[in-house]
Each structure stands twice: as structure tokens, then as C-alpha cells.
Amino acid sequence: MPRMSREVAEQHRQQVIQSTSRLIREKGAVGVTVPEAMASAGLTHGGFYRHFTSKDDLLAQALTAAFAERRTAMDQITEEHSETDGPSARTAFLTMYLSELHRDHPADGCPAAAVAADAARSEPNTPLRTAFTAGLRDLAAGLRQMDDPGHGSAEDAALADLALLVGTLLLSRACDDEALSRAFLKAAHNRLNEHPAPAGESSVTPAPAV
């Protein structure tokens, strides 16, 4: 294959991966079809097998890309808040993760909350479940990296924080009651943050989804 053709093929593959990473966060992995994934990248589904061995292969790569995107965002927050007099990296991350904007825009948000149910229902050692497990480990490592003094850096603490964050986001999205949905976000923010919100005030404000 000529050099330019290989480059174009790789560009197309990355386009499909990135667009599918948004689709699976928005709809769940099970709900995404091959024609839909290819169309979302502006391509026809006839060329799918030039880029991926199977739908499972695409979903795993898209999920891995989604987790990598979130970890990059976490690392940027850690770097930006490492030498400032403002909020700590942990506080800034919690505020963004537990925001109404993140709740309302899953396609741009955390893949752990979006794909957890699909991963739980998949068989052990399937590509999706393997990619999901690796992504969880990476998010937990990111949380350990931004821990404040007093919160500790033990792995079990980071895992507990991650479980509360993901579970809160799932519940707040599932609620058919806006007040209860916001209450979940506020309660988790206050439990995890060293600076709880004043009574009667929302602990989260609209911020870029993480």
C-alpha cells in the first residue's frame, strides 16, 4: 500500500475510534452498531474490516481512547493546580466531575459511568471488559496522583473515591427528579471534598465536563 494510502487509512481509523468513543458514552456500548459507528466518522460501513477485526475490537479501542482522554484531563488538572494558591487539583477535579454539565453531557464525559452496566454484563476476558478494567485502574491512579495531604494515597482510598464518583454520576443521571439528582451530586461532593458547600447552596457549578 502506498505511503499516503496508509496515512489516510490510519486517519480514518482514528476518526472511527474517536467518534465511537463518544457514541458509547452517549448510548452505551451495546447500543452502537457498525454502520452507525462508521457513519459518525463520515465513512461507509463497507470499509469497516480494513480497520478493525470485529465490532468488539472497535468497541474496546474506542473505550480505551475514552479512558485515555479522561486520564489526560486529570493530569492537566493536576499540573495546573500543583503550584497555585487556588483550589487543589482534587477539589477542582471533584467540582468538574460532580457538575450538572458533566451529568447532562455523557458523550463528553467519564466512560466508567457510561459503560459500567455493559461491561458488567459482558463475559470475563472479553475485549470490552478487559479495556474497561484497565481504564478503571488508570483513573484510580490519576486520583492517587492528585490526592491532598490528609486524604492519603493508599490504593483502597482511591478506589473508594472512584466508586463514589462513578456511582453518584450514574444515580444522578438515572433520577427522574431534578432535585434528587442535584442532591446526589452535592452529597458526594461534600463527602469527598475538604471544603463542603454551605447549607442550602449547590456544591457544584457548571464546568467543563471531565
Range of the domain at 96: 3-192
DSSP codes, 148-189: PTTT---HHHHHHHHHHHHHHHHHHHH-S-HHHHHHHHHHHH
CB-based burial, 51-83: b 16+ in 10 Å, e otherwise: bbeebeebbbbbbbbbbebbbebbeebbeebee
Count: domains in the chain = 1
Report the phi/psi class of residue 87: left, alpha or beta, with left for phi > 0 and alpha for psi in -120 to 50: beta
pLDDT in tens, 24-74: 999 999 989 999 999 999 998 888 988 999 999 999 999 999 999 999 999
pLDDT in tens, 161-188: 999 999 999 999 999 999 999 999 999 9
The amino acid at residue 140 is A
pLDDT in tens, 65-113: 999 999 999 999 999 887 767 788 999 999 999 999 999 999 999 999 9
Report yes or no on 202 lying in a domain. Answer: no
Report yes or no on 98 lying in a domain. Answer: yes
CATH at residue 147: 1.10.357.10
Report yes or no on 104 lying in a domain. Answer: yes
pLDDT in tens, 8-21: 889 999 999 999 99
pTM (two decimals): 0.85
